[in-house]
Structure 1
Amino acid sequence: MGKEKRRVHRMDGHSAAARRLADRLNLLPIAVFCLWLAAFALFWGQAHGPLRSFDTPPPGMAAWPWFAASILGAALVLALPEGFYRLRGFERSGRLHEALGAKAFRAFVTNGDHINRIVTRRYRDYRVYPHGEVVAAAARTARQSERSHLVCLIAGLVACFYAALIGWWGWAGAMLVANVLGNLYPVLVQRHTRARLRPLEERDARRQAATRSQEGRWR
C-alpha cells in the first residue's frame, strides 16, 4: 500500500473512531429526551387504566378524548407550512435565545459543545458535518430537529394540561419539567443555531449569485 493510500486509510479509521465516540457520548442527551417519552407513556398508561395501581382512583374525566387531542395536536404540527419556522425579526440576532438559556443548554445536546470538545480533543480533525457542507447540512438538521421536538412538545403540553385538570399534580409537574428539558429547550437551541447560521447562509447566497452572474457574462 502506497504512502498516500496509507494516509487516507488512517484518516478514515480516525474518522470512524471519532464518530463512534461521539455516538456513545450522544447517548446521554438522548436519555434526557427518553425521560420525557417514558413519563408521557406511563402517564397515559395510568390514565387509561392498564398501568394504574389498585389504590389509585380513576381520573374524574375520560382520558381518551385528551389522548386523541394530544396526538392530533402533534399531527397538526407536521402540517404547518415551512414559513412557520422562519426566524422572526426579534430572533435573528440570536440574543433572545441566549437570554433564555439556549446557548448554555446547547453544550449538553446531541453533538453539542461539550461532546464536540471531548471528541476533538482526541481526534482533532473531527467535524459533525463535512467542511464544504457545514452551513447547509447544519441548517437542514436544525429545521428537522426543531419540527420533531415541536411535535413532541405539543403532545406533552396537552398531557400536562389534562393531568392538571384531573388533579394529578405530580404527573403534571414531572411531565412539564421533562417536556421543557426534552423538547422546549431543544427547539430554542435549533432556532438559535439557525440564527447563528443566517449570516453564513446569506454570504453563500451572495457568492452563488455572483458566480451565476459571472458565468452569464462569459456565455
Structure 2
Amino acid sequence: MTAAEERRTAAKRLAERLNLLPIAVFCIWLGAFGMFWLSALGPLRSFDTPPPGVEPWPWFVASILGGALALAIPDRLYRLHSFERSGRLHEALGAEIFRGFVTNGDHINRIVSRHYGGYRVHPHAEVMEAAARTSRQSERSHLVCLVAGLVGCVYAALIGWWGWAACMLVANMLGNAYPVLVQRHTRARLWRMANRAPRRGRRSNTSI
C-alpha cells in the first residue's frame, strides 16, 4: 500500500468514527420507536400501566405499511421542484446549520481535512453523480423512517401517552425530518453547481 493509499484509508477511518455521533442520534429515535411499540403492544408495559384505550395492533401495522409505501415512491418524485433549486427554502428551515452535524457533514469533513488535506467523500471526477445518488438513497431511507415514526406519534397522542408522543416527535425530527431536508438541500447545491457554467459545455441537469 502506497503512502497516499494509507492516508486515504486513515482519513476514511477517522470519518467513520466521527460519523458514529450523528448515527447515535438516529439510534435514539429507533430505540424510542421500538420501546414505544413494545410498551403499547404489551411486552414492555409495566403492570401498573393500563392498556391503551385504542387497539395498538392496527396502528402498528399502519406504521410499518406506511414506511413500506414510502419505500415504493418512484425515483422521479425525489427530483427537486423548481422552487427548491435556489436552496433558500431549505436554508430558511435550518438545513444549512443542520448539515454540519449529519454523517459526512460539514463539521466532520472539516475535521478530517484538517488532519488529511484534500480529503473528499467521493473522488472528484465522479463527485456530482456519486453525491446525488448517495443523497437520494439517504433521503429515501430517512423518509421511510419518518413516515413510520409519524404514525407512531399520532397513535401515542391519540391514547394520551404525551411523553412518548413528544419524545418520538423530537427524535423523529432530528433523526429523520431534518436529514431529509438536508439531502434535498445538498442536491439543490449540486444542481446549481451542474448548471452554473454552461460555457464548459455542460447541459442543464434536471435529474438531480
The residue that corresponds to 2:206 in the other structure is none
Letter in 2 for 1:207: G
Gaps of 5+ in 2: 204-208
Q: Is residue 102–residue 192 contact of structure 1 (8 Å, CA) maintained in 2?
A: yes
* 2:116 alignment partner, one of 91, 115, 123: 123
Alignment match, 1:93: 86
- In the superposition, the TM-score normalised over structure 2's length comes to 0.93
Whole-Å Cα distance in 2 between the matches of residues 104 and 57 of structure 1?
42
What's the offset of the Cα at 1:203?
Answer: 6.1
Match of 1:114 among 92, 107, 113: 107
2:179 aligns with: 186
Counterpart of 1:55 in structure 2 is 48
Q: Deviations over 1:80-112 (max 9, x none)?
A: 122211111211100100000000000000000
Amino acid at match of 1:69: A
Query: Which aligned pairs between 1:33-52 and structure 2 lie closer than 5 A?
Result: 33-52=26-45
Contact 1:136 1:201 in 2 (8 A): no
Question: Of Structure 1 and Structure 2, which has the larger fraction of its residues in helix?
Answer: 1
Report sequence identity in percent: 71
Q: Matches of 1:180 and 1:204 in 2, distance apart? A: 36
Are the structure 2 counterparts of residues 91 and 52 from structure 1 closer, same or farther at C-alpha, using a change threshold of 3 Å?
Answer: same
Report the alpha carbon displacement of residue 59 of structure 1 after superposing the two structures with TM: 0.4
Instruction: Provide the C-alpha distance between the structure 2 equivalents of 1:76 and 1:68, rounded to a whole number of angstroms.
Output: 12
TM-score by length of 1: 0.89
Structure 1 residue ranges (4+ consecutive) displaced by more than 2 angstroms after TM superposition: 199-209
**Pair 1:204–1:135, CA change in 2 (3 A):** farther
| Match in the other structure for 1:71 | 64
Structure 1: which 5+ residue stretches go unaligned? 1-7, 210-219
1:84 aligned to 77, 100, 103, which one? Answer: 77
The CA RMSD over aligned residues, in Å, is 1.5
Task: Report the structure number with the largest CA radius of gyration.
Answer: 1
1:207: which partner in 2? 201
Shift of 1:204: 8.8
